[in-house]
Structure 1
């Protein structure tokens, strides 16, 4: 009887070990079976880019041509050609602030070129290229305003308009604690409030402010940037080879003058905006 019980337990133990080893093996295979995005891109000669369709100068749907236009759009196409040759194809997939990371994680796109700020939290989810646009918080004011920098906001009676729930609000409180912050739901409402005199300055990323200044005469971006929040190209977490290829393409585009040409195409002549600083 004891012999049978002992035999039963030995068989049960062997079964448990076998299942455990099988699970470990499956887990290891799953971990090592992540699709190599670069190899897929290289084979298909196609990169699917997640881009914005609502951000002037970077990615915006042009009503007349029904095409996406902007710095991000042109740079995505240039990187595609640099990596894959003249036959390389850039497919544009429209995203938003809320959807851009999910569509990348779900495999709907190969890379994001969508004004994605490089942050520690995002680095936990995605792998970033080197920065391609030196974004940072800045100020938009009327061109004849006495406000020239963040320091000028730290005076009694100054009101700054900003989008509700963004880091811009917290940064104004941090860098100009005496300023009053009036919050609105979106950039359109903020700018309307600025024009109506409800505030003396509007604050958010310099690139976004440049887009507003570009289509509204009498307004300027001032004071440079008082935060450092650069944009990077995002690929899925662990796609290091693809990120390295993108970095190499960016480097080559800067060396051959293409990057500088695109910067001037989209940002030249905007009052107060520094191309040199943004390209740094």
Structure 2
């Protein structure tokens, strides 16, 4: 009798265990590592780039990259409320992808051969150009060569910094920081003479209310920067899905709407949507 009761209890426990497992499987996210489970998806963005990826004081996120990521996530089956945003500094993007901390990265992530050895890229979804941001009253910098006698700021791991040191102004006093906001502070207090990165990023800073009138873009197209969405190398299924989403975003007008909303106030003249490779 005791044996019968024990067997019945064990059977009941097994049924409950299987039921719990099944319920958990229904609610979990099947899109792979980088997601936090429960139907969530983790996406890497910048937190300190006005116009592209910015975490606002109220805890919400805004910018063109945020809009692109949100659109792509929706096409993958996730509502905006299902997105977990993770800060992705330039120097950490490859590690975040490789370690599975994010599903993909949308963070002014320029596609180049060196990065393609470590991650795959969907896109491109935007074409920017490297430029310089200088103080409005500074007329001493009109071309890249002028930087050879100047203090130049950029962020660690950026292609802009490498481009200047290797090609444009090898004698520039290059200072690299963890974020563009640090460079901007240095520019404002004259600790540095110029900030270099993509014109889209510079326009975002220059258009902020607290910075209006203080800075100007030099207007130099020093390089072509094709922004791509970085994801784990070899994930061809996700790559195809993201590219399909980007094509749809351009064709249905959402891409241009996002560009106008995020860059329009600064008067920034963007390039047309690039062809998806």
Is the structural similarity TM-score above 0.5? yes
The answer as to 2:156 corresponding to 1:162 is no
Aligned residue among 175, 185, 190 for 2:177 = 185
Higher mean C-alpha displacement, 133-142 vs 242-251: 133-142
Structure 2: gaps spanning 5 or more residues: 1-29
Question: Which aligned segments of 4 or more residues in structure 1 are displaced greater than 6 angstroms?
Answer: none
Report what 2:255 is aligned to. Answer: 259
Aligned residue among 66, 90, 93 for 2:85 = 93
Report what 1:231 is aligned to. Answer: 227
Distance in 2 (CA, whole Å) between partners of 1:104 and 1:47 is: 13
The answer as to 2:62 corresponding to 1:62 is no
Higher mean C-alpha displacement, 202-211 vs 120-129: 202-211
Distance in 2 (CA, whole Å) between partners of 1:142 and 1:101 is: 33
Report what 1:116 is aligned to. Answer: 109
Larger radius of gyration: 1
Distance in 1 (CA, whole Å) between partners of 2:92 and 2:62 is: 20
- CA separation of 1:37/1:238 partners in 2, compared to 1, >3 Å: closer, same or farther? farther
**Displacement of 1:51:** 2.2
Contact residue 59 and residue 72 of structure 1 kept, 8 A: yes
**Displacement of 1:68:** 2.0
SS class of match (1:76):
helix
- CA separation of 1:53/1:170 partners in 2, compared to 1, >3 Å: closer, same or farther? closer
Higher mean C-alpha displacement, 73-82 vs 243-252: 73-82
Distance in 2 (CA, whole Å) between partners of 1:211 and 1:59 is: 10
Aligned length: 236
- CA separation of 1:68/1:269 partners in 2, compared to 1, >3 Å: closer, same or farther? closer
Report what 1:204 is aligned to. Answer: 197
Contact residue 190 and residue 202 of structure 1 kept, 8 A: yes
Contact residue 104 and residue 231 of structure 2 kept, 8 A: yes
**Displacement of 1:247:** 0.8
Q: TM-score, normalised by structure 1?
A: 0.70
**Displacement of 1:132:** 1.3
SS class of match (2:222):
coil
Structure 1: gaps spanning 5 or more residues: 1-35
Contact residue 51 and residue 72 of structure 1 kept, 8 A: yes
The answer as to 2:68 corresponding to 1:75 is yes
